[in-house]
Structure 1
């Protein structure tokens, strides 16, 4: 039943997905990359450094830290090579890494540098001024591939450097606390201490001959399904490929959180490099890192799904399931307290007459003023599955094992009979077969298709129809400090742009978390001095997240021969228009809230700055002209930053295998007793944070499993 295997890994956790052999750079490639890094974070001269210190030390920043930051270049930092190489290994798909290596080789030659910059010398031998101009030339280029070059290298050269918690000089200059100063204090006592959930050891796991049900994944879908089936008396095993962290284990530090709690160690790119994607990969899944946002599926989406034959979504049962989820996770607006950024969203919307509402948080009505919520909840009050449904499951006898990756479902006579998995504990990594009567795949929309395909399922819809809520971030600069890292991340939502096309597709306006690493690559680099000044102004920026409900983008998830995940996502014109409509509304909101500058992240658009004697008004003629240009330029390929943190639809349910991968019950069309119970079931994008929806859908799937009333699966 057990056989030892060997696994080549490139990251600390062998159960994240880039597991092919690590790549490195040759000397010429390194010289070019270092030159690029020292361009994006380059050294200013003494006069420029003193000028920045004179200006920004008056805002409360430490003068000495400002000067050190101003004169610093990337290669001055310790371990900068390993930091960036680690970033490339985890965040870039293998094919994208090969492309970057090729570009670095091209730029190490005279001819290649001439073709890409117009300078007839290897890139590393150009002056800093020429390198800066060349990089800005890529940003301004009308050639999409050169814009992609700028986008790729700006992310590689900025994000990992500012994320690195050891680079204190960067964080001090920004006025950013690299870690939560309250919850990481040695004397901190959690608001709601929770007992540690026990994880099975390998020997304990293998002592059980079989289970009634194996659930792959511990997030919103897996946690709910485990609780419901355990309550019926079934023996339930929950298998999680990520690591279980008790609340006391959490490190509320941006870099640690990315490495420990997220797929691929943080944001990773789509195969074309156009979208940066984040997904939870830890015990509790996305519910552990969700920013407490709790939103119900809106009526027009429920009706859309019902029109596809899935009438359950307009039934009283689904309504009651949504209410039950709200009750179990303590979703409420009672404890909502807006931080400055959320208050700007509220104030701007009210001034313009736009829709605005407090956003329910899953904290049981308690205030949760934690700007590091993306790193888990050390308070113990955020009701993710590890604090709620999985504890219910444990109460009824369910067992859990983490750091165990399911390779495939075992199928005999067209029926699921267990799983084959790689378990990694102190005894070393082993391949094991674990048997059960029923298997529920709740590994998330990125990983569930891989499990199904490796199990032999052939349905053409598996892995297709990925929806991710593509998002943009706009910023407003305010005269008074905003300190968006303080208080609750996301407490307000505006639906003003949610129905751009008249069919329920558009964008929501919310507030995102933008800690140092994220901010460094989201705020557009326009030059060395310009970017350093932006970082020094960090405390004064207020962001708005423009979250689009994607409709018709061609997209899929796929896997290479090593199991490495790739996400293909070719953003459609329709979905670009949804994002753009949200961007335009968000700019007006920021201006109406009093922003003195606003910017969009579009490569071709400079920020708009109100004059010293101008009021911040949306009817300012100069602002109107600038806003019109924002609309005219739009979102050309690789011409703006696009981000995503929700994944849906890759094993969607439906009434026929011709249009779906799973039945309305969640059971696969091809294999009996193999169910899906995660966001990959969604027929279309929800348009709201999917946590509440997937938990309500999982209640439905669990009911169907318990009743065992599904018809026999057919090809």
Structure 2
């Protein structure tokens, strides 16, 4: 059965796409709106601006890849679709970070989990972070709009065995659990979402809003890294960019983008890094600070029956039993989910070397993995990380605090208890020095005494947030609650860097809904001036 590739078909009929790796002389492009980044924020903003009749340019640092080149192989997907070939780490190498780098951003490679911004997060932002107008009630229509646009709906199929273990453990223990809503249409249930959907079922920006914007005349420029924001007083007057080669190294060709309004949607880390490189006004030292990761710990479990965690919807069940248990500003809570179990992904996030590692991987199909995403940014001892510029780019310094390690220990215990309740034969907390545990009483004791430490304990992240927070008080925010810069009349930010804390939920739907609101308000204003 031939799979239609909307990108290939659109380009064939004349969509405006410039692959900057093929540009040999300096180029200047102008539009009403220039958007930096094509992920959840940039993609939604692009469609809304184009629908309003505004001319739009989308600038993406990564390549334009589509289902034609998605072959479900990790060795191809990671270098083609992820920042630093999926090997990006924090400054001290203690946290691995998965972040997309291609047209569609992380929406092209995420696992489709779609959750509205939790009420507790919105209430905390309003009370503590000077955010206005973003209540559960006011955002509801925007979430509903994006859920309809991206076919976000409850996953009606039976969970795969990996997710079923999470469900069964929760049921046995009487814990909260929820069926996940996913942004898919005609999903084949293959389980390879993290490598780009080969059948275009995932309703990422790559196959929804970006094509819609291009259909309305927008221009997409891929493999172009915006290096500097040019400004004078309170107006941005241009973006300088570098053309990148097919291997994403600078070619020496410069690009200049000029617009009436500029939207930064390069994502947490890259939006703040661009602002810092450009030396934008930052009188209160906010840019790049309070960057949050939902730092995540992992627990493996061996079952007698085949788990085959590589097959089927990667995430279809989650548990919020422990996310808000101690209140927003209390001890750090954590969300329980499962990841897909693919060979390279798991091999790089498990324990041991040589024979011990080989023995574990030999039981690959019996391995169930549960993860705990720690909700950072609320507790006084959870201030997140800081983006720093380096000679060759950027780094993220994210110290793991005592509050995090206390939460991690509780999370390891919760995951082990859950996995044994679901019928696991053995449980392995993924931290060096731990061995297979054969019962919940044994695990409870071992986890209480285990030595947790950076580089010893595996910590990962797929949710980068913060670094350019929104709010009405300039002393604690860079942009207002509509994403408009406090310092420049024609600059907005529309991506996950806006969040004043982490969410305690997977971020893509929060970015979709908040961007839909803010982009619509901006489009109306720009349209009235044109």
TM-score (norm 1): 0.68
CA 205–414 in structure 1, closer or farther in 2 if over 3 Å, else same = farther
Distance 2:383 2:296 in 1: 14
Q: 3-state DSSP class of the match of 2:64?
A: coil
Bigger Cα displacement from structure 2, 504-513 vs 342-351: 504-513
Match status 1:461 vs 2:286: yes
In structure 2, the residue matched to 1:470 is 295
CA drift of 1:429 comes to 4.0
Match status 1:599 vs 2:432: no
Match status 1:653 vs 2:470: yes
Match status 1:221 vs 2:45: no
CA 315–535 in structure 1, closer or farther in 2 if over 3 Å, else same = closer
Distance 1:341 1:517 in 2: 17
In structure 2, the residue matched to 1:200 is 18
Match status 1:568 vs 2:397: yes
In structure 2, the residue matched to 1:167 is none
Q: 3-state DSSP class of the match of 1:488?
A: coil
**1:98-151: per-residue Cα shift (whole Å, max 9, x none)?**
xxxxxxxxxxxxxxxxxxxxxxxxxxxxxxxxxxxxxxxxxxxxxxxxxxxxxx
Distance 1:684 1:523 in 2: 29
8 Å Cα contact 1:336-1:358 kept in structure 2: no
8 Å Cα contact 1:441-1:448 kept in structure 2: yes
In structure 2, the residue matched to 1:306 is 126
**From 364, 388, 391, the counterpart of 1:558:** 388
In structure 2, the residue matched to 1:341 is 162
Distance 2:118 2:507 in 1: 11
Q: 3-state DSSP class of the match of 1:503?
A: coil
Distance 1:234 1:205 in 2: 27
Match status 1:670 vs 2:487: yes
CA drift of 1:684 comes to 0.7
CA drift of 1:637 comes to 3.6
Match status 1:322 vs 2:143: yes
Match status 1:519 vs 2:337: no
Bigger Cα displacement from structure 2, 634-643 vs 537-546: 634-643
Match status 1:578 vs 2:403: no
Distance 1:637 1:377 in 2: 34
8 Å Cα contact 1:280-1:288 kept in structure 2: yes
- Give aligned pairs, total: 507
CA drift of 1:378 comes to 0.8
In structure 1, the residue matched to 2:503 is 686
Distance 2:426 2:5 in 1: 41
**From 58, 69, 77, the counterpart of 1:257:** 77
8 Å Cα contact 1:467-1:685 kept in structure 2: yes
Distance 2:454 2:94 in 1: 7
CA 337–394 in structure 1, closer or farther in 2 if over 3 Å, else same = farther
Distance 1:549 1:634 in 2: 22
8 Å Cα contact 2:264-2:493 kept in structure 1: yes
Bigger Cα displacement from structure 2, 623-632 vs 439-448: 623-632
**1:325-349: per-residue Cα shift (whole Å, max 9, x none)?**
1111111124433111011111111
**1:605-655: per-residue Cα shift (whole Å, max 9, x none)?**
322125xxxxxxxxxxxx324313302336334331000011111101111
Distance 1:274 1:530 in 2: 22
Distance 2:79 2:174 in 1: 42
Distance 1:588 1:507 in 2: 15
Q: 3-state DSSP class of the match of 2:368?
A: strand
**Structure 1: gaps (5+ residues):** 1-187, 611-622, 710-715
CA drift of 1:384 comes to 0.5
1:100-499 map, 5 Å: 189-190=2-3, 195-197=9-11, 198=15, 199-200=17-18, 210-307=30-127, 308-314=129-135, 316-364=137-185, 366-424=186-244, 429-459=252-282, 460-499=285-324
Q: 3-state DSSP class of the match of 1:495?
A: strand
**Structure 2: gaps (5+ residues):** none
Distance 1:209 1:590 in 2: 55
Structure with more of its chain in helix, by fraction: 1
CA drift of 1:451 comes to 1.3
Distance 2:198 2:429 in 1: 33
Distance 2:214 2:172 in 1: 49
8 Å Cα contact 1:336-1:361 kept in structure 2: no
CA 281–192 in structure 1, closer or farther in 2 if over 3 Å, else same = closer
CA drift of 1:190 comes to 2.8
Q: 3-state DSSP class of the match of 1:237?
A: strand
Distance 1:537 1:425 in 2: 41
In structure 1, the residue matched to 2:358 is 532
8 Å Cα contact 2:121-2:328 kept in structure 1: no
CA 315–502 in structure 1, closer or farther in 2 if over 3 Å, else same = closer
CA drift of 1:233 comes to 1.2
Distance 1:469 1:497 in 2: 14
Give 1 or 2 for the bigger CA radius of gyration: 1
Q: CA RMSD in A?
A: 2.3
8 Å Cα contact 1:506-1:579 kept in structure 2: no
Q: 3-state DSSP class of the match of 2:465?
A: coil
CA drift of 1:447 comes to 0.6
CA drift of 1:196 comes to 4.1
8 Å Cα contact 1:359-1:491 kept in structure 2: yes
In structure 1, the residue matched to 2:335 is 508
CA 315–491 in structure 1, closer or farther in 2 if over 3 Å, else same = closer
Distance 2:63 2:339 in 1: 25
CA drift of 1:549 comes to 0.9
CA drift of 1:498 comes to 1.0
TM-score (norm 2): 0.90
CA 211–433 in structure 1, closer or farther in 2 if over 3 Å, else same = same
**From 458, 462, 465, the counterpart of 1:641:** 458
**1:165-214: per-residue Cα shift (whole Å, max 9, x none)?**
xxxxxxxxxxxxxxxxxxxxxxx533886634542256799887521110
